[in-house]
Chain A
Amino acid sequence: MSANHDGANLLEVRGLTKIFGTLTACDHIDLNIAKGEIHALLGENGAGKSTLVKMLFGSLEPNSGEIFWNGQAVRITSPGAAKKLGIGMVFQHFSLFEALTAAENIALSLDDGSPISSIAAKARALSYSYGLPLDPDSLVGDLSVGERQRIEIIRCLLQTPQLIILDEPTSVLTPQEADKLFETLERLRSEGKSILYISHRLEEVKRICDRATVLRHGKVVGHCNPREETAASLARMMVGNEVQAVVRAPVDGIETAQPLLEIRGLTRKPATPFSIPLKNISLNVRAGEVIGIAGVAGNGQGEFFESVSGEVLQQDAASVRIRGKDAGGLTITGRRLLGAAFVPEERLGHGAAPRMKLSENLLLSRHATDGKAFVGAGGMVKSGAIYAASQRIIEAMDVRKSAPDPEAAALSGGNLQKFIVGRELDRRPSVMVVNQPTWGVDAGAAAHIRQALIELSRSGSAVLVISQDLDELFEISDAIAVMHNGELSKPMPIAEATFEKVGLLMGGAEPGHAEHTLETA
């Protein structure tokens, strides 16, 4: 670690500290970013990465410490000040305007005064040249997480910053799209730009990053050259001990097992002009197996989940069958009563009510199925019973929290996700449908959730996992199907599946003809 200001460093951070109440989120952080390097920032959720990055981007003020930009001491007092210095940021969450179009979102971050009408064309051209195609006229509220992230990336690149901070940029891209992004990043590096790259995907950090700084519990625990490390050694630095590898025992005779979730010719018209119609989707999930659904964000996975969970009802009652009974016309509660459980993509606001306690959130999805246990005479909530049950889940899933029964919003993303998945697992559902089980969740928590889903299937349940994380699907699935433009490919047994085959289907190769496409390719 060099202490001299040798001028080669674009950004130097000395002893940066941020204290929230009793929690020291960042504790004397030192960080040097050289010109023209891709620097990885590694750490589990809650390690202080976001707090550090927010201080660099001016949305949080440090309690102590110094920041040097090109050797000059600077105070970054607002995001506007950071932008003026030449720091751009691609956020993981919450920085787009849902009621505006993609082009308008981009226009807002450009200060060059170009008319809004010309920005749509400019954005479309740039997005294609960066390999991240987007429709500038679509409303952000209609877009999936992945498409929103593309807008974020384009928006940041259009500002031509000197330092680009990317927070988990590839978690929603196909492998081929991620490759394109890496090409872009390498091009930016060759132009002398610096990149601070936050990711939990250790393989890609090893692939593109020149140096890495590892945070744990708000402290810097090490600097390293990721190319000289293994994924396992990086994970060890982040977590502090070994991450338990997920174990998936092979299943025998699955072909003869009872299908617990049957989807037959599921078709759905687009709900809004921009959403994806579902086209004749058929799939069986049998007792004892995990089926994964891969696909680039925004290809109908959200619509599919809504249809299966009963948030949207089907005309044809037989298009969704749970444990042999027609469920297409049943509401989400009706489907739960048949033994199904659902975990939606969005944790806060959809999976859990942010301002309610965990025990109260337990009741959200289980008021009907566990009515006798949790609700007493006259509709009175048995607060003792829901508290005890929530504590049981917290213990089973190793949920880390600051109070005995905190509000959902007070938990970190990974811990809340463990609770929400645990809430459904606790019921021992015979059908479990999960959308994005570990989005933005740290390695330790993700391994825990994945193992729990596998164990549920091995105990005789049918598990359907929709995910944009291919590593995850290959880890837990017995077969992988790919969703593209509202159509679902035939499930491919995991023994035959490769990243390349799945990636091609994700990019739009004809469903069910993966082998053929590969031969001609």
Chain B
Amino acid sequence: MDITVNILLTIATAATPLLIAAIGELVVERSGVLNLGVEGMMIMGAVGGFGAGYLTGSPWIGLLAAIAMGALFSLLFAVMTLSLATNQVATGLSLTLLGLGLSGMIGTSFVGQPGVRLPNLDIPGLSSIPVVGKLLFGQDPVFYISIVLTAAVMWFLFKTRTGLTLRSIGDSHTSAHALGIKVIRYRYLAVIFGGACAGLAGGHLSLVYTPQWVENMTAGRGWIALALVVFASWRPWRVLAGAYIFGAVWIGQLHAQAFGIPVPSQMLSSLPYLATVVVLVLISRNKRLTMMNTPASLGQPFVPDR
């Protein structure tokens, strides 16, 4: 029983950074902006979070620094693509490259240093309930943030007027502009929110998952988050499902490798990607829902004619 609980806990820890980064990117893409710089913003959050935590000794200050770092880094992207109307794909890619390089440079002196770890939630009494106690009440704080964030984004997008406005901008920025909606302002806020989420996801890696700084420690998670958003057809609960399927198969194949199952390890390592894509494609079969949820103006720069 304990093994099962421990496996479930590691799955949650593996899925949390993916979920947070993907939910942030989902909001960005719903506003019609494609930011391919998730990996770069995430690694900047990771190095910023680790650095601030290491220097102050407080993991909470580290977490805030991670969020701020991601948001600040995304602001660079926002200025380029929204105010200067540069190509979003190229700018996003260069943001990733810049983030990977810059974080390596900032983090040179952090390599090998012991980090601080965000403590798990531990409610006396509740967290000692067998099985569910640890799962529900004994995880790290970022796990709870990720679940609340997903629910909040769902509520915001589909139940609030501001969320409706954001979706309308993603559907047609020219129509939104014609209605007097401030397209650029909304998109700035969405991009910065996405950056903050990516930063938080990075902070989770360097303050919870493996509390240390290793260059390139995001290891492609930003790209997985990006793919999750698309395969989940821009629906928050599907992003959640996707992140957890990925996390589960990821942990499962690690255990399988440890048991020495006679399957090439490369095959096992590719399983999480394959399983996530297959499942999300299967649940996205409804063409009509996909059409309703795909932001039609995704990736197009908005320049109102004057």
A and B are interacting partners: yes
Residue from B178, B182, B291, B296 with most neighbouring chain A CB atoms (10 Å): B178
State the majority secondary structure of interface residues on A: loop
Q: A139 in the interface, Cβ–Cβ < 8 Å? A: yes
A133 to B29, CA, bound (A): 34
| B167, A95: Cβ atoms closer than 8 Å | no
Among A102-110, A205-213, A448-456, the stretch that binds chain B is A102-110
Q: A385 in the interface, Cβ–Cβ < 8 Å? A: no
Q: A83 in the interface, Cβ–Cβ < 8 Å? A: yes
| B175, A104: Cβ atoms closer than 8 Å | no
The A113-167 residues at the B interface (CB cut-off 8 A) are 113, 116, 139, 141
B154 to chain A, nearest CB (A): 15
Q: Which of A61, A79, A108 contacts B165 (CB 8 A)?
A: A108
The B220-267 residues at the A interface (CB cut-off 8 A) are none
Known: A79-B179, A94-B175. A100 touches B164 (CB 8 A): yes
| B171, A80: Cβ atoms closer than 8 Å | no
| B180, A79: Cβ atoms closer than 8 Å | yes
Neighbouring A residues of B182 by C-beta, 8 Å: 80
Query: In chain A, what residue has the closest Cβ to B164?
Result: A104
Please list 28 pairs of residues, one from A and one from B, whose beta carbons are closer than 8 Å in the complex, sorted by A's number. Answer: A57-B178, A59-B305, A60-B306, A61-B306, A78-B180, A79-B177, A79-B179, A80-B180, A80-B181, A83-B179, A89-B178, A91-B178, A94-B172, A98-B172, A98-B296, A99-B167, A99-B293, A99-B295, A100-B168, A100-B171, A104-B168, A108-B164, A108-B165, A108-B168, A108-B176, A116-B161, A139-B292, A141-B291
| B164, A99: Cβ atoms closer than 8 Å | no
Q: Which of B177, B181, B291, B306 contacts A99 (CB 8 A)?
A: B291
Interface string of B145-169 (1 = CB under 8 A from A): 0000000000000010100110110
Neighbouring A residues of B180 by C-beta, 8 Å: 78-83
User: How many residues from B make CB contacts under 8 Å with A?
Assistant: 27
Q: B124 in the interface, Cβ–Cβ < 8 Å? A: no
Neighbouring A residues of B171 by C-beta, 8 Å: 97-100
A123 to chain B, nearest CB (A): 14
A80 to B197, CA, bound (A): 31
Neighbouring B residues of A59 by C-beta, 8 Å: 177-178, 304-305
Q: A337 in the interface, Cβ–Cβ < 8 Å? A: no
Query: In chain A, what residue has the closest Cβ to B159?
Result: A116
The B102-150 residues at the A interface (CB cut-off 8 A) are none
Known: A59-B305, A100-B164, A100-B171. A95 touches B179 (CB 8 A): yes
Q: A272 in the interface, Cβ–Cβ < 8 Å? A: yes
A428 to B288, CA, bound (A): 39
| A116, B293: Cβ atoms closer than 8 Å | no
Q: B294 in the interface, Cβ–Cβ < 8 Å? A: yes
Those 6 A-B pairs whose CB atoms lie nearest each other, nearest first: A80-B180, A97-B171, A79-B180, A99-B171, A95-B175, A61-B306
| A97, B175: Cβ atoms closer than 8 Å | yes
Contact surface of A with B, Cβ cutoff 8 Å: 57, 59-61, 78-83, 89, 91, 94-100, 104, 107-109, 113, 116, 139, 141, 272-273
A486 to B115, CA, bound (A): 69
A139 to B290, CA, bound (A): 13
Q: B300 in the interface, Cβ–Cβ < 8 Å? A: no
Residue from B167, B174, B175 with most neighbouring chain A CB atoms (10 Å): B175
Q: Which of B177, B179, B305 contacts A108 (CB 8 A)?
A: B179
The B267-303 residues at the A interface (CB cut-off 8 A) are 288, 291-296
Query: In chain B, what residue has the closest Cβ to A273?
Result: B288
| A99, B178: Cβ atoms closer than 8 Å | no
Neighbouring B residues of A91 by C-beta, 8 Å: 178
A521 to chain B, nearest CB (A): 40
Neighbouring B residues of A141 by C-beta, 8 Å: 291-292
| A95, B178: Cβ atoms closer than 8 Å | yes
A91 to B175, CA, bound (A): 10
The B47-100 residues at the A interface (CB cut-off 8 A) are none
Neighbouring B residues of A113 by C-beta, 8 Å: 161
Q: Which of B167, B174, B304 contacts A94 (CB 8 A)?
A: B174
A380 to chain B, nearest CB (A): 32
A272 to B182, CA, bound (A): 33
A96 to B179, CA, bound (A): 10
A82 to B292, CA, bound (A): 30
Neighbouring B residues of A79 by C-beta, 8 Å: 177-180
Neighbouring A residues of B165 by C-beta, 8 Å: 108
A107 to B294, CA, bound (A): 20
Known: A60-B306, A79-B179. A97 touches B174 (CB 8 A): no
Residue from B159, B172, B293 with most neighbouring chain A CB atoms (10 Å): B172
A80 to B291, CA, bound (A): 29
Query: In chain B, what residue has the closest Cβ to A20?
Result: B305
A100 to B169, CA, bound (A): 11
| A96, B175: Cβ atoms closer than 8 Å | yes
| B178, A100: Cβ atoms closer than 8 Å | no
Neighbouring B residues of A96 by C-beta, 8 Å: 172, 175
| B177, A100: Cβ atoms closer than 8 Å | no
Neighbouring A residues of B306 by C-beta, 8 Å: 60-61
A96 to B178, CA, bound (A): 10
| A107, B164: Cβ atoms closer than 8 Å | yes
B75 to chain A, nearest CB (A): 24
Neighbouring A residues of B161 by C-beta, 8 Å: 107, 113, 116
| B288, A97: Cβ atoms closer than 8 Å | no
Interface string of B173-201 (1 = CB under 8 A from A): 01111111110000000000000000000
A97 to B159, CA, bound (A): 17
Neighbouring A residues of B304 by C-beta, 8 Å: 59
Neighbouring A residues of B293 by C-beta, 8 Å: 99
A82 to B182, CA, bound (A): 14
A113 to B161, CA, bound (A): 8
A202 to B45, CA, bound (A): 64
Query: In chain B, what residue has the closest Cβ to A141?
Result: B291
Neighbouring B residues of A100 by C-beta, 8 Å: 164, 167-168, 171
Query: In chain A, what residue has the closest Cβ to B163?
Result: A116
Neighbouring A residues of B175 by C-beta, 8 Å: 94-97
Residue from B161, B296, B305 with most neighbouring chain A CB atoms (10 Å): B161
Neighbouring B residues of A99 by C-beta, 8 Å: 167, 171, 291-296
